[in-house]
Amino acid sequence: MRRTQKDTEDCARTVTRRGLMMGGAMTAMVIALGTRLRYLQVDQADEFRLLAEENRINIRLIPPRRGLIYDRNGKIIAENEQNYRVVITREDAGDVDLVLARLASLIPMTPEELEETAAAVKKHSAFVPVIVKDRLVWDDFSKVAINAPALPGVVPEVGLSRQYPRDADFAHVVGYVGPVSEKDLEATENPDPVLRLPKFQIGKIGVEKWMEDTLRGTAGTKKIEVNHVGRVMRELERQEGDPGEDIRLTIDADVQNFAQARLGEESAAAVVMDVTNGDIICIASSPSFDPNLFVRGISHTDYAALTEHDHRPLANKAVSGAYPPGSTFKMVTALAALESGAITEAHRVSCPGFIEIGGRKFHCWSRRGHGTVGLTRSLTESCDVFYYDVAQRVGIDQIAETGRKLGLGHRHDIPMSAITEGTMPDKAWKADRYKEDWRIGDTINASIGQGYVLTSPLQLAVMAARIASGRAVAPRLLRMVGTFEVPVAEAPLLDIPPEVLQAVRHGMHEVVNGDRGTGKSSRIVEPTMVMAGKTGTSQVRNITAAERARGVVSNDQLPWKRRDHALFVAFAPYDAPRYAVSVVVEHGGGGSTAAAPIARDILLRAMSPGLPPLSAYPASQRGRIETMLKELPLRDPATGAAPESSRA
């Protein structure tokens, strides 16, 4: 069929339209390709040239700023200080041994340090920077920076390092940081990549450890350009991480410092709690140590001095020490008997100096005895025989139940290391632990805080706080995390009748305020600060019948480790309790002579805006107390600076 003119024109128009569409598409593609080529070859030329030349752009982690730690009033306890350091990256260094040798000619490095650094460089991935030397002085840091062209892979940088300005005061509470170990990594599921940075530090004990995730923060990243010899030319891009959260503790740094100074070089511990909300105002263990030694790398000599010291300065005695509570436990036995109805306040016991049970004599501390004794006098003069009698009436299971109500035999949940549960024994406990039946002699021993009963200074402070407040107040150490205040709910009332608690409180009042009280020499005479307390002395050795016959050897005539532990618990003010305190002095002898004076002074410091007022002490003691207070190595309350005599 012959094509018409119209058909030909229509076909031409169709071909032309298709051609134009195809041409336009091809033109657009050419323009797009040209634009992309220009972007890659011109705009991105420098970056791709660097990438082509031995991958000269590196991405590295930026360690986050560690959160700071403050006391309840905002005084700094743990901070970060500027730290000049030098790092090396294996993939940029080439001959690592040669570079390290050059570096050692510029800054002081021991053969051991060189060997450790070389081993660390080989151990980690080639792109991971390894710290060669930190805490450099400015002159050494400058030498490295000036000689950087001859030190491929070596970068001088400014970092942050942990610093504890109050050194020994908070060593056991806050703890310290140290390099991440293989054990640390194994204990962490899906560890943060920043933990694998050589010499990155994390909390090892105390608050630093238990609040690690909060304090650490998250790492940032940076993209850097290096030249063909490994020298960093510039930083191309930086993405900051998130700093760690700051933490504010419940502890008062000035009271803590006073407690540490007052304990001196004794092997001892002291705890002060606010009975209204459980805030720990101070928690001291003595002797202490400087945690900065561990951050900077403690020497073998310094570490040996700490581990070989017979007073165990590394041990946190306030929470990990487990001691027989001695006569401070008598309140538990009394409360158990009164609450159960086994005795009333009118109950009386005759004390001839001992009680005989099953053919065995259980002695009172007073060889002559106390005569007829009631509840108040039994606490005032600490008569053992009264409690031997009462314990048989009430039984160990009721005593143990009351002890647990008061916080004994329980691991209190605060962010500190090695917190002991102590031992609050009963019949089931002994059957499970020793596969033996409970005996009456076990009850007799437990009634005065001996035998299987073990408590920590923290638990004893909780016990005193609960007796004082009548509430199941729990200890707390964190006041704020970041900008959020840690909430504290009102503690529930103890399941102990108020009149029963008051009867025991009255006995504690007479211990330090009565004419025959075992703690009367440590009384507080200021009416608004009157203290109630209980002395305790716990034996660490058995006294044989032969020794009793010829006379018990006094503590001061025994080797230190065979002397009795001295204890004291108290609360004040008596009429409106605010603070509770416990003090344990290892092998200190008597609670009335070794522990009670310390506890009184610390309690007065907690109740005062400054040093304990001399007017709170009996007039006959004020001269001696004034001298003692002046000689205490206390920090400046305003600046936190250590006394001149303790500065190194």
Which residues are known catalytic residues? 327
Residues near 574 by beta carbon (within 8 Å), at least 6 away in sequence: 505, 509, 530, 531, 532
Task: Give the span between the Cα atoms of 490 and 470, in whole angstroms.
Answer: 12
Task: Give the span between the Cα atoms of 577 and 69, in whole angstroms.
Answer: 29
Residues near 248 by beta carbon (within 8 Å), at least 6 away in sequence: 69, 70, 71, 72, 74, 478, 479, 480, 481
Q: DSSP code of 476? A: B
- Residue 422 sits at φ, ψ, to 5 deg, of 70, -165
Quick one: CA dihedral 99, 101, 103, 109, positive or negative? Answer: positive
Task: Give the span between the Cα atoms of 599 and 572, in whole angstroms.
Answer: 11
CA distances from 170 to 241, 259, 415 (A): 29, 11, 13
- Half-sphere exposure (CA, 13 Å, Cβ side) for 521? 14
Q: What is the rounded radius of gyration, in angstroms, for the C-alpha atoms of the chain?
A: 35
Nearest to 566 by CA among 266, 305, 335: 266
- The single-letter code of the amino acid at 24 is G
Residues near 624 by beta carbon (within 8 Å), at least 6 away in sequence: none
CA distances from 510 to 295, 345, 381 (A): 48, 15, 9
Task: Give the span between the Cα atoms of 273 and 167, in whole angstroms.
Answer: 22
Nearest to 376 by CA among 356, 415, 339, 347: 347
Number of other CB atoms surrounding residue 294 within 10 Å: 22
Which residues of 470-594 form beta strands (DSSP E)?
478-481, 484-485, 532-538, 565-572, 579-585
Task: Give the span between the Cα atoms of 424 and 66, in whole angstroms.
Answer: 40
Please, are residues 402 and 410 in contact by the beta-carbon 8 Å criterion? no
Task: Give the span between the Cα atoms of 454 and 506, in whole angstroms.
Answer: 25
The helix/strand/coil state of 268 is strand
